[in-house]
Structure 1
């Protein structure tokens, strides 16, 4: 097995196989694994996206539960608040049927398997607050460590301009997700899994399908820098199945493989800020808005030490003019303009970091006036997100297959990575490359990912903090928020 691309999609596929003892080679162009778009949120129900279908929301819920069971060290355990401003055309009451549906699905999943109870008590999956409820909470002291949903809501009630919103305001158990602790988990697990060979700083230059003695295979050529020779050396491997997990560059490998695929790529960024006067332990807060307009959704994501990651779904903040591009009949790889490629490969210009971060601060301060004294806290988190097909609202996606032992892990959200890995594993069984015997006795998610699940939280955090430092981000972004007490 060969996996090209060591982001969250490719690393998860490789982990899934290696944990079962299936030999796999993982090839990543970058220096470290899982260094992609600004992952910060576990979409346990997809409530950030009111425009997506209930079916997608249920899929995201199931996938998120799987993610927490496989990667228990990566969640920031705090709820998310959903608020609809008066200026927005939406009605918060329309969110309630979906939330009740998700709550019922969550309850049924727990009835089927008690191990699925990773999002807290299903009876507290969500809670609604009227304006008077928030006025009452605003009069309370700030809890040192939130326990109940009401505790989490106190700093929000104290700082929001409560007259600017439609009611109810909703709190839901959608947690945070740390890209740095996902990267650390993958690196630590691979070091303990002899079935996986990892090549980093390895750029694939050519792939070619071959038939040898009636056995289909893929020849992969890649270049690695040889420090002793001070030159790039070409290496070659042959694999019996190829997984394309190249993220926004998935189309480039498709072109090498001479297969077609419709897809889009969107460049996005989130901004790191520090709020020196922040008081209390905050949940995440989402202010709904119409995507792409000046009143686009605003997202306030908390980390330790007063750091917050900000999204503003406007073209002046998170989105970019001409930042969404599509594939063509000539190429499966959508072509971003050169200034986006420059951002992806090199550093941003300082003035642009300052300007866009300040716009993000101003966007949040419309709703949280006290946030106006926040400052730039670091470099932006950015990347290009692939979206299979032609629907820019697609959020729940995982994998697609060709007829020549070639699969694409095409996740849009990190929580879909386990689902993609499962589908690829099923395909290997279907094609006779592995047998079902390999699953013998491995019934639960925890049993199927024994090495990954057994990692020590302190080790994961230590490596994650070093990765954050190496990538020039505050170590607070790698640190856990209210991590589960029962973890090792």
Structure 2
């Protein structure tokens, strides 16, 4: 199949990689009427490293800078406006164990700064009020507050922070945490509803072509155009000619950099999250973060709620989410960091059952240190896993988007999914694909994606979860 763009009136853009970065870029450029081809080697979109929350404000990780927090806040607000049916609207609780050398009060200046920035965003544009009223962005709970909530019954539809905190107050060992406990309007994010939204949108955009089960094998710049060769599912070879090439290959971004001779230094880190079912737990939980020192046995513990008692678990220890030699770096010979073979095999061939069982059980026990009843949970599916690229040399970097090099070549490298829309906008601006002299709202720019109905997205997401072998609860809408 030969697609030649030499006679086209508008440029043709190829985006390689259908993770959250590539899918969002295709949606954004396609909604502006551009001619886009999105190539993904898997059967569907957004099937990479685990996503569980927006990271609005970045308060979940203490080691990142306040400036990154403010960038992530702005990006997350914009992401909610674009992907409104992908969000699970429930708060996040941040607790600091008594064994931790840090104190929760150290977070409060950052929280105040983020709240002030959020207030300014809402004053500038009322459509930005997507994380609740700014004055209620966070709330502090002393032990007496939680002891009071312990005596309450949670309503079927929680109406405020107090209602959401009831299960936490009732189940957590309050002797093991410092005070105050912090509740923040950090929302959850469904990777399956995100994938569903992107795929349903691209299906309706007349100038977008989605090539799944397609693997790029060659890219050559010839007379000002990129000549691409790719293989389909049957290993048949095809070619196309495009004007612009966007590298959105996730942890394999370096391979396309090497192929196109556009070197870039980066790191890649393999991570995993685990799925567990908590039998007979009827409460509607917030997300819960127990802070800790990364990489130690007391590393951060994270409990992310989904529907019907299913939870996603992180533990920032080498026995759970982190892995020996899991953080690798590129070299002068290649822009592609090389993962240890045992981790690469997990990416290509899947996980041995005994490893899934052991690591999930370790994650359950890690949460169970603070929530004793959680030890009754059991593994409920394969891990959500993948490798995450980090451009540059700062492993604490969380706010990153796009860089340009060579001729009509860009690479989108995001560490947090909420940076994807920012990257897509920068593509438009840098390559002058649109007139930005007038301000156009996110809603006006994306009429197709924002016309999708929540129930249709949810059903598509459930189908994707089933096809990928995950519990359907991960795709269902929760929160209010």
Shift of 1:139: 1.1
Match of 2:138 among 117, 126, 137: 126
Q: 2:50 is matched with which residue?
A: 38
CA deviations over 1:107-162 (Å, ceiling 9, x no partner): 11001000000001111100000111111111111222211100000110001111
Hey, what's the Cα distance between the residues in 2 that align with 1:140 and 1:482?
Answer: 19
Hey, what's the Cα distance between the residues in 2 that align with 1:403 and 1:209?
Answer: 10
Match of 2:157 among 145, 149, 171: 145
1:183-202 pair list within 5 angstroms = 183-202=195-214
Give SS of 2:403's match.
strand
TM-score (norm 2): 0.96
Shift of 1:259: 1.4
Q: 2:453 is matched with which residue?
A: 456
TM-score (norm 1): 0.95
Match of 2:264 among 261, 265, 268: 261
Given that residues 282 and 308 in structure 2 are in contact (C-alpha distance below 8 angstroms), is that contact kept between their aligned partners in structure 1?
no
Given that residues 442 and 448 in structure 1 are in contact (C-alpha distance below 8 angstroms), is that contact kept between their aligned partners in structure 2?
no
Q: 2:405 is matched with which residue?
A: 402
Q: 1:228 is matched with which residue?
A: none
Shift of 1:440: 8.5
Hey, what's the Cα distance between the residues in 1 that align with 2:105 and 2:262?
Answer: 45
1:18 maps onto 2:21 in alignment: no
Aligned length: 468
Q: 1:415 is matched with which residue?
A: 418
Shift of 1:210: 1.5
Give SS of 1:308's match.
strand
Given that residues 143 and 280 in structure 1 are in contact (C-alpha distance below 8 angstroms), is that contact kept between their aligned partners in structure 2?
no
Hey, what's the Cα distance between the residues in 1 that align with 2:74 and 2:363?
Answer: 32
Q: 1:173 is matched with which residue?
A: 185
Where do 5+ consecutive residues of structure 2 fail to align? 1-12
Match of 1:110 among 109, 116, 122: 122
Distance 1:195 1:241, change over 3 A: same
Give SS of 2:275's match.
strand
Match of 2:362 among 359, 363, 372: 359
Where do 5+ consecutive residues of structure 1 fail to align? 226-230, 484-488
Given that residues 89 and 479 in structure 2 are in contact (C-alpha distance below 8 angstroms), is that contact kept between their aligned partners in structure 1?
yes
1:82 maps onto 2:90 in alignment: no
Hey, what's the Cα distance between the residues in 2 that align with 1:440 and 1:53?
Answer: 32
Pairwise CA RMSD: 1.0
Hey, what's the Cα distance between the residues in 2 that align with 1:84 and 1:264?
Answer: 29
Match of 1:98 among 107, 110, 115: 110
Match of 1:217 among 225, 249, 256: 225
Give SS of 2:355's match.
helix
Q: 1:236 is matched with which residue?
A: 239
Given that residues 262 and 406 in structure 2 are in contact (C-alpha distance below 8 angstroms), is that contact kept between their aligned partners in structure 1?
no
Shift of 1:447: 0.6
Give SS of 2:84's match.
coil
Shift of 1:347: 2.3
Hey, what's the Cα distance between the residues in 1 that align with 2:280 and 2:452?
Answer: 36
Shift of 1:458: 0.8
Q: 1:252 is matched with which residue?
A: 255
Shift of 1:340: 1.2
Given that residues 155 and 279 in structure 1 are in contact (C-alpha distance below 8 angstroms), is that contact kept between their aligned partners in structure 2?
no
Distance 1:463 1:435, change over 3 A: closer
Give SS of 1:94's match.
helix
Hey, what's the Cα distance between the residues in 1 that align with 2:41 and 2:217?
Answer: 11
Give SS of 1:45's match.
helix
Hey, what's the Cα distance between the residues in 1 that align with 2:103 and 2:419?
Answer: 29
1:313-328 pair list within 5 angstroms = 313-328=316-331
Given that residues 37 and 385 in structure 1 are in contact (C-alpha distance below 8 angstroms), is that contact kept between their aligned partners in structure 2?
yes
Give SS of 1:10's match.
helix
Hey, what's the Cα distance between the residues in 2 that align with 1:322 and 1:315?
Answer: 10
CA deviations over 1:61-106 (Å, ceiling 9, x no partner): 0000000000101000000000000100111001001101111110
